[in-house]
Structure 1
């Protein structure tokens, strides 16, 4: 297989060309659909894995507030109706975790007068030493092991962006949406960190992460980036391992958090600046 350029590699993992199998398993422990008044997946024509983090129960019996915390994939395919919907629900801040190349390839053009405050960094994605030139010979298990090994690197590379996201939450600049390309990897880690900070049980956070197997649409993503045709050269099972989510991926993140001296609470304090006062403030704002 010819040498591929992966300046925006996590986006490319998710944006796959036609002809690749797209059937992904849905974990049986995934949380049930919310009541109609609070849809988990937002009713957007061009949305990609755009969902509300509300409704999850915390350890002390409170509930994450609906309508203030949104996780999403790339927003470049949103329609005029979608922008009007997001304007009605008051999206105020967007944290876009995509790389420079990803944003250049799939720019988001908010209508005049409706643009939220957008935070994004210019960078080249670090794939943690993963070499895709040999990917055609990988098995699905090889791909899963490599993805699980990659996830801890996301905690390091995006630490500054995750800190900034929490700073916006502490400042009350919500509703806030955070996204990457597929809304499953960088975004999945961010959502797990938020739910952990809000004292949502670990299994619930993992179940939310696994919902990307239900709500991420690779065909829709592919349509926004035709440059990913080279991915059709990979075995379908390998492609599915890359474009889906697996419990082992997010558990690799939680292992880093749990083995930090002092555990999860100390990780939030030391790596994200969330001490007892900040956690108390977040939980007061975003749970009820």
Structure 2
């Protein structure tokens, strides 16, 4: 496994920022570096951070945050076009509904809630994630994609992209779990709740992503069928994406 070289410390005002390039796929081809980056939200960038993004040539930010999220923490970065790919944070709404009923979920119940959230990504937002891959194809300049923490919606998007590029599952899980090392928790964004619940909600676990992969297999006939079916990626588009983002 070859890991990306750009560390999370590259930006002072954002965490969990990293280049997804550098990994090798099952054919031994390397994902091109310097083209696609993942991050948490970009609302706290410093002047130096903005200059760094500009030096990387990043021209588009693909924002998976819901309406309330990007309204609360908006951003505008010179030279970077924000593209809205809103996926509402349903896990938060479900948690709020439980709290309103006076119910505090157990750790296991919170994990189950996260698994269901990832199944929702697969079944409810296939078209949005398809738009994400098509935007990478249509705009071949460097891009960054993110949500609030850069862990769930962003994590699943990264898993889909790496799957489309033929990267093996073990490597995809490695990239996914790096969030637990690189995301800096921010109580101002996370809100309040029982400590055991918040720990589950603001970290990632292999079970979350595995639930999504299992749903892809069970409901959509596997990753290839999911990419071409529910996500709407034509075979020639997938081939072009691989041409753009894999080193020959």
Q: TM-score, normalised by structure 2?
A: 0.90
Residue 239 (structure 2) pairs with residue 280 (structure 1): yes
Task: Mark the runs of 5 or more structure 1 residues left unpaired by the alignment.
Answer: 1-30
Aligned mates of 1:123, 1:242 — CA distance in 2? 16
Query: Which residues of 2 match residues 9-24 of structure 1 at below 5 A?
Result: none
Contact preservation (8 Å) 1:58, 1:198: yes
Aligned mates of 1:44, 1:151 — CA distance in 2? 28
Q: Which residue in the other structure is 1:263 paired with?
A: 222
Seen in structure 2, the aligned counterparts of structure 1 residues 122 and 137 have a Cα distance that, compared at 3 Å, is: closer
Aligned mates of 2:227, 2:9 — CA distance in 1? 29
Q: How many aligned residue pairs are there? A: 244
Q: Which residue in the other structure is 2:90 paired with?
A: 126
Q: Which residue in the other structure is 1:62 paired with?
A: 29
Q: Which residue in the other structure is 1:116 paired with?
A: 80
Query: Which residues of 2 match residues 215-254 of structure 1 at below 5 A?
Result: 215-218=182-185, 221-223=186-188, 225=189, 228=191, 231=192, 233-234=193-194, 236-254=195-213
Report how far residue 186 of structure 1 moved: 0.6
CA displacement, residues 223-276 of structure 1 (integer Å, 9 cap, x when unaligned): 5x4x82xx1x41x22211111000000001101112245421111000112232
Aligned mates of 1:252, 1:41 — CA distance in 2? 27
Aligned mates of 1:135, 1:208 — CA distance in 2? 36
Residue 16 (structure 2) pairs with residue 49 (structure 1): yes
Contact preservation (8 Å) 1:51, 1:72: yes
Contact preservation (8 Å) 2:87, 2:125: no
**Which of structure 1's runs of 4+ aligned residues deviate more than 6 A?**
none
Seen in structure 2, the aligned counterparts of structure 1 residues 89 and 44 have a Cα distance that, compared at 3 Å, is: same
Aligned mates of 1:261, 1:121 — CA distance in 2? 22
Aligned mates of 2:15, 2:220 — CA distance in 1? 37
Aligned mates of 1:279, 1:59 — CA distance in 2? 16
Task: Mark the runs of 5 or more structure 2 residues left unpaired by the alignment.
Answer: none
Q: Which has the higher contact order (CA 8 A, sep 6+)?
A: 1
Report how far residue 32 of structure 1 moved: 7.5
Q: Secondary structure at the match of 1:90?
A: coil
Q: Which residue in the other structure is 1:180 paired with?
A: 147
Report how far residue 132 of structure 1 moved: 3.1
Q: TM-score, normalised by structure 1?
A: 0.78
Aligned mates of 2:120, 2:216 — CA distance in 1? 12
CA displacement, residues 83-117 of structure 1 (integer Å, 9 cap, x when unaligned): 0000011001111011111111111132xxx2322
Aligned mates of 1:260, 1:89 — CA distance in 2? 39
Coordinate RMSD, CA, aligned? 2.2
Seen in structure 2, the aligned counterparts of structure 1 residues 159 and 262 have a Cα distance that, compared at 3 Å, is: closer
